[in-house]
Structure 1
Amino acid sequence: MDHIILEIGLAVVLIAIAGLLSAKLKFSVIPFYIIVGMVVGPHAPKWGVFDFRFIESAPLIEFMGRLGVLFLLFYLGLEFSVGRLIKSGRSIVVGGTIYIGINFTLGLLYALLAGMPLKEMLVIAGITTISSSAIVAKVLVDLKRTANPETEMILGITLFEDVFLAVYISILSGLVLSGSTSITGVAVSALIALGFMLAIIVIGRKAVPLLNKLLDIRSNELFLLVVFGALMVVAGFSETIHVAEAIGALLVGLVLAETEHMKRIEHLILPFRDFFGAMFFFSFGLTIDPTALGGAVWLALGAVAITLIGNFVAGLLAGRSAGLSQKASVNIGLTIASRGEFSIVLAGLGKAGGLLGILQPFAALYVLILAILGPLLTKESKHVYRLLFARRSRSEPAKDPAQSSIERVQPEREG
């Protein structure tokens, strides 16, 4: 522990270099953070007589990364609001069901075709179904798409996924770890998770006048302490009842977005979001063992292919069910294609249950590929849309000139 500060300092320098390189190449910064973490992580090989691996500081960097997820989701909640979420309630349930149904079914079928036993099939289906809240939040913020109409559906699917995850982990842990599971226990877990989310949203909205008074604090120091305290307590408590701490942070952001202090919170939270968010992706890279990835290459590539197809189809169907345009629906499927922290958790559950050893390298490589492709495809979603639907667009009849002039007056949102 004598050199812990030096290691943290070197980590920050490496992250900064990765960020500068990505800006120079005009590429998403997320893959750069992950790859540089993987290169210097505890699992990386030694470089000759030198050892640049981050070993002593890895647990502390991992904790800082967890804070990064909280700040990313909290900020995303601030950019949204409870009001918008409630208005989209029905479409979110429909869209979330479509998304989970398509991706989970494809994951099961893929694992079956790969010749996996039943328990491994269930783990792989979970890995390929749940998207990364942290990466989705980062991409939406970086591309300034938080005000886009499809963002409501994207956030709604994220919340819906967490209810599914709470239920699924309860079932899977029972099957994998103990060999059995209680239907009553699973139902209770699901109801607790759903009830907690609804309680935060409803009570938080009713308490907006009280929150306005409580947050009327002149000192920025005390103001941040109160906000951070609420964020950490709610996120920490949500984890104890098997709701992801990131979703707890998102809920706090949704509630505070309704207050008159939203802009002040947003301004003060930005440096924490950017710094700790970068640490999350770097810490994620530290967990990947590059020497163990080779045996899972083809299995991971096949899973990536079906995930991209499944997400694209699910995005189109979910978006159209909510009355969104075809372009916005394409954005949905591309934005939530990234996989991350939840997939790694499910792979860890398989390892704890003594399942096939290929699950760990498969999950790591699968997540790494989609962590790179997801943000890239989201950034280039306009080009993806034009490529896939250009012929159809050219075949459509010309619009009425008066209508076209009205549309020209309305600025088009990015993406």
Structure 2
Amino acid sequence: MDHMVLEVGLAIALIALAGLLSAKLRFSVIPFYILIGMAVGPHSFELWHLDFRFIQSTPLIEFMGRIGVLFLLFYLGLEFSVGRLVKSGKSIAVGGTIYIAINFTLGLVFGWASGFGLQETLVAAGITTISSSAIVAKVLVDLKRTANPETEMILGIIMFEDVFLAVYISILSGLVLSGSSSVGGVILSAVIALVFMLGLLIIGRKLVPWLNKVLDIRSNELFGLVIFATLFLIAGFSETIHVAEAIGALLIGLVLAETEHMKRIEKLILPFRDFFGAIFFFSFGLTIDPTTLGGAVWLSIAAVILTLIGNFAAGMLAGRTAGLSPKASINIGLTIVARGEFSIIMANIAKAGGLLPIIQPFAALYVLILAILGPLLTKETKAIYKGMNFILGKSKKKPEASS
């Protein structure tokens, strides 16, 4: 406890160093934050008789990381609006269903092919199905794609996933932790999640004229306090009803994007988003134990390949149903390929239920690979699209040449 301030200071210095290195190499910054967290986390080792491990401050850094997720998703909501999302309601529902169906089915196939039991298979399917809201938000903002037409579908799929997550965690917890699951409880969780999300969007949109008056505050200090209070109260309340706190932050951002104070809120939030967002990825690295990853290498690589295939197919199908171009459809699939916080939650359920020990290192390595690969692939979607066109163009010309 005596050295907590020093540890947090060192953590911020290391995060800054990782950011400078990634900028120098012109690489996505997310993998650097995660890897530096792994290198100095509680599970790492002493280097040259010096202990760099963050032990006492880890809970505080992890909490600061949770705040980072809230700011990332809140800012993403501000960049959007309820109106844009409502217009795409039908295509989002179809796209979300396609995405979940493809990835969840592949997850079940993966679990079965790996020789897992029923409970482990269900956990593995959950781990491989749900995207990382934090990484998706960070990538969209960093690459300045919030105004892209496919971003509506990406945001919609994230929220669709959260409804699925609320239902699935209820089922999984019942099966793994207590041996049974109440059908009524599962249905109730799904209904509560849907009502809360839709209710907040609909009521929030109607309250925009009132919000414009309430937020007409001259003092920047008071204005900031009101915005922060709203963000944390809504996000905290959503968590109590089993809707991810990050989704609560996204929803309130979507509502406030409709107000005339949106630009002022955006300017206020921006430095907090960058600071706490970086800490989230660092704190994620702190949770990974590098010494346990070796035994899960082949399982993780197989799962990554299946996820890339599933996401690509889901993105293309979802984009086509929404009338988007092939390039935009590729963007959908690759932007939401990263896995993160929700996959780790699934692995923790397996640990609490006493399931196979391999689940934990598998989830950690799988998430780490996709957390690194996801942003890189998203950045290179243009090159991937051109490469596909080149390959398809050559394959079309071959039959003509032979005839």
Which residues of 2 match residues 371-390 of structure 1 at below 5 A?
371-390=371-390
Rounded to whole Å, the distance in 2 between the matches of 1:264 and 1:396 is 53
Q: Which amino acid letter does the alignment assign opposite residue 299 of structure 2?
A: L
Aligned to 1:327: 327
Rounded to whole Å, the distance in 2 between the matches of 1:254 and 1:218 is 23
Q: Which amino acid letter does the alignment assign opposite residue 123 of structure 1?
A: V
Deviations 1:251-306 (A, max 9, x none): 00000000000000001110000000000000000000000000000000000000
Aligned-partner SS, 1:323: coil
Rounded to whole Å, the distance in 2 between the matches of 1:393 and 1:283 is 45
Residue 75 of structure 1 and its aligned partner are, at CA, apart by 0.1
Rounded to whole Å, the distance in 2 between the matches of 1:226 and 1:129 is 36
Aligned-partner SS, 1:128: helix
Deviations 1:58-106 (A, max 9, x none): 0000000000000000000000100011000000000000000000000
Aligned-partner SS, 1:284: helix
Residue 163 of structure 1 and its aligned partner are, at CA, apart by 0.1
Which residues of 2 match residues 180-195 of structure 1 at below 5 A?
180-195=180-195
Q: TM-score, normalised by structure 2?
A: 0.97
Aligned-partner SS, 1:61: helix
Aligned to 2:110: 110
Aligned to 1:360: 360
Q: Which amino acid letter does the alignment assign opposite residue 307 of structure 1?
A: T
Rounded to whole Å, the distance in 2 between the matches of 1:92 and 1:18 is 36
Q: Which amino acid letter does the alignment assign opposite residue 60 of structure 1?
A: L
Q: Which amino acid letter does the alignment assign opposite residue 109 of structure 2?
A: L
Rounded to whole Å, the distance in 1 between the matches of 2:394 and 2:328 is 19
Residue 9 of structure 1 and its aligned partner are, at CA, apart by 0.5
Which residues of 2 match residues 48-59 of structure 1 at below 5 A?
48-59=48-59
Deviations 1:310-365 (A, max 9, x none): 00000000000000000000000000000000000000000000000000000000
Q: Given the alignment of the two structures, is residue 299 of structure 1 paired with residue 323 of structure 2, yes or no?
A: no
Q: Which amino acid letter does the alignment assign opposite residue 352 of structure 2?
A: A
Residue 390 of structure 1 and its aligned partner are, at CA, apart by 2.2
Which residues of 2 match residues 177-256 of structure 1 at below 5 A?
177-256=177-256
Rounded to whole Å, the distance in 1 between the matches of 2:100 and 2:362 is 21
Which residues of 2 match residues 26-175 of structure 1 at below 5 A?
26-175=26-175
Q: Which amino acid letter does the alignment assign opposite residue 106 of structure 2?
A: L
Aligned to 2:22: 22
Residue 392 of structure 1 and its aligned partner are, at CA, apart by 3.9
Rounded to whole Å, the distance in 2 between the matches of 1:371 and 1:64 is 19
Residue 395 of structure 1 and its aligned partner are, at CA, apart by 9.0
Q: Given the alignment of the two structures, is residue 309 of structure 1 paired with residue 309 of structure 2, yes or no?
A: yes
Rounded to whole Å, the distance in 2 between the matches of 1:58 and 1:280 is 12
Rounded to whole Å, the distance in 1 between the matches of 2:285 and 2:393 is 41
Q: Which runs of 5+ in 2 are unaligned?
A: 398-403
Rounded to whole Å, the distance in 2 between the matches of 1:251 and 1:257 is 10
Deviations 1:162-189 (A, max 9, x none): 0000000000000000000010110000
Deviations 1:374-395 (A, max 9, x none): 0000000000111112244689
Rounded to whole Å, the distance in 2 between the matches of 1:48 and 1:187 is 55
Q: Given the alignment of the two structures, is residue 265 of structure 1 paired with residue 226 of structure 2, yes or no?
A: no
Pick closer, same or farther for the CA change 1:175–1:50 going to 2, 3 Å. Answer: same
Deviations 1:101-160 (A, max 9, x none): 000000100110110000000000000000000000000000000000000000000000
Aligned-partner SS, 2:129: coil
Rounded to whole Å, the distance in 1 between the matches of 2:255 and 2:373 is 32
RMSD, aligned α-carbons: 1.1
Residue 370 of structure 1 and its aligned partner are, at CA, apart by 0.1
Rounded to whole Å, the distance in 2 between the matches of 1:393 and 1:13 is 49
Rounded to whole Å, the distance in 2 between the matches of 1:389 and 1:41 is 44
